[in-house]
Amino acid sequence: MASARHLLGRWEVGLVAITIVIVVIAQLDGGGLISSYNLQTTSLNNVVLLCLAFGAAPVIMTGDIDISIVGTLSLVGAFTASLWAHDGVGIWVAAILGLLLATICGVVNGLLVVLLDLPSLAVTLGTMGAYTGVSFLILKGSAIIEFPSSLVTLGSSNVTGTPVPIGVVVLVALFAVLTYVVHGTQFGRSLFAIGGNRRAALFAGIAVNQVRITAFAISGLFAGLAAIFYLGDYDTAQAGIASDQLLPAITAVILGGVSAYGGTGTIPGVAIAGVLLALLQAALGLHGFSGEGQTIAVGILLVFAVGGGSLIRSGTFRRLWPVKASRSSSANAVIDAASTGGG
């Protein structure tokens, strides 16, 4: 499973191809997309989103979902900022305590889902509200701004002497670690086994409960890391902040080839999907597309890619349209492309 072919499967190749086409078209028509300023600011503004997406991916691979990540982000942001501003705790100590809290938030989700045998959607819908609610109790509608320069440097400055933001470097490191954990360890294999067939995984001797809880803990931890990035980049902590990042993050995971039913997907796929979505947004924005236009474009991309793949996997397409497959027709070709996401 950890073979090179698995990591760079066909789905990812398709995503890279789409990305390249977007870049080429945008560059031919006026450029600006691949300018140093645009790449810097676009990548910075997507660090939080990708961090959330990376964290959510393992949970989705096990067939669960965690939508409380933005609640955790809000809570950890408020908690860390408040420790620093109101209790005189050093910012980095506060950040580490924040990450601890984030992991606890994830474990709480996991325990509720596993021990009470509740649907993860219902549980994390509840905890999303609860975590966000506590962040409102902590900050009471006020904002904390002007964090110490060390945090702002992490969030928004470049590596000395290069045009590369520090946040992006840290994110790449987190990506590498997570890729190893998911695709190079027994724990990672367990994620896919549980997502594929939970009962079979149990009979195969996998500690299903521990693995599922750990996946939620990872999700929480990454939401906490996203919160620290948020404080550093936007230099602001406020309750309910970044609540709009939930759907884009889940979009990146699903477009990245992680099946919403669990059992398949790769972390590199999620990363490429994140880059694709960021570049698509930037290209459309640069060319004067409205917010509505951008939302529609991302929606179309997702429906074509994921909807098509799902149709072909379930065989619905062939039942609905039992014509002898004319392989040259573009409609079939698109569906085929999407179908390769089965992993």
Partner 1 sequence: MRFQRTKRATIAALALSAGLGIALPAIGASTASAASKVTLFMLPKFTGIPPFTQADQGAATQSMQYGYTLKYGGPTTASATDQVNFINDAVAAGDKGIFISADNPAAVTPALQRAEAHGVKVVSFDSDVLPAGRTVYIQGTSAVSIAMTELNMLGSQIGYSGSFVILSAQATDTNQVQWNSLVKADLSLPKYKNMKLVTIVNPPDDSAASATKYMQSILQEYPTIKGVIAPTTVAVAAAAQVLQQQKLCSKYVLTGLGDPSQMKTYVTSGCVKQFALWNFSTEGTVAMCAMHAVLTGTVSGKTGQSFTCGSRGKFVVAAGGVVTAGPAEVFSKANLQDFTF
List residues near partner 1 by CB under 8 A.
10-11, 13-15, 17-18, 21-22, 25-26, 28-30, 32-33, 35, 37-38, 41-42, 45, 48-49, 140-141, 143, 145, 152, 156, 233-236, 238, 241-242, 244-245, 280-292, 295, 297, 300-301, 304-305, 327, 330, 333-334, 336-338, 340
Q: How far is the CB of 48 from partner 1 (least distance, A)?
A: 7
Name the residue nearer to partner 1 (CB basis): 11 or 175: 11
Distance CA 64, CA 274 (A): 21
What would the two tokens of residue 4 be?
């090179």
Name the residue nearer to partner 1 (CB basis): 58 or 165: 165
What would the two tokens of residue 30 be?
């006026």
Closest residue by Cα to residue 171 from 118, 212, 121, 229: 229
Distance CA 52, CA 230 (A): 11
User: Per-residue DSSP letters for 184-201?
Assistant: HSHHHHHHHHHHH-HHHH
Collapsing DSSP to helix, strand or coil, 236 comes out as strand
Name the residue nearer to partner 1 (CB basis): 64 or 233: 233
Name the residue nearer to partner 1 (CB basis): 48 or 94: 48
- Residue 32's CB is within 10 A of a number of other CB atoms, namely 14
Distance CA 29, CA 222 (A): 37
Name the residue nearer to partner 1 (CB basis): 29 or 210: 29
Q: How far is the CB of 44 from partner 1 (least distance, A)?
A: 8
Scanning the structure block, which residue is given the tokens 């609860």? 130
- For 245, the enclosing helix (H) or strand (E) is none
Q: How far is the CB of 261 from partner 1 (least distance, A)?
A: 21
Q: How far is the CB of 281 from partner 1 (least distance, A)?
A: 6
Closest residue by Cα to residue 84 from 72, 73, 96: 96
Name the residue nearer to partner 1 (CB basis): 25 or 204: 25
Q: How far is the CB of 319 from partner 1 (least distance, A)?
A: 21
Q: Give me the half-sphere count of Cα atoms (radius 13 Å) on the Cβ side of residue 263.
A: 11
- Residue 291's CB is within 10 A of a number of other CB atoms, namely 10
Q: How far is the CB of 286 from partner 1 (least distance, A)?
A: 5
Name the residue nearer to partner 1 (CB basis): 156 or 310: 156
Q: How far is the CB of 104 from partner 1 (least distance, A)?
A: 26
- Residue 17's CB is within 10 A of a number of other CB atoms, namely 12
Q: How far is the CB of 34 from partner 1 (least distance, A)?
A: 10
Name the residue nearer to partner 1 (CB basis): 118 or 333: 333
What would the two tokens of residue 123 be?
């549980």
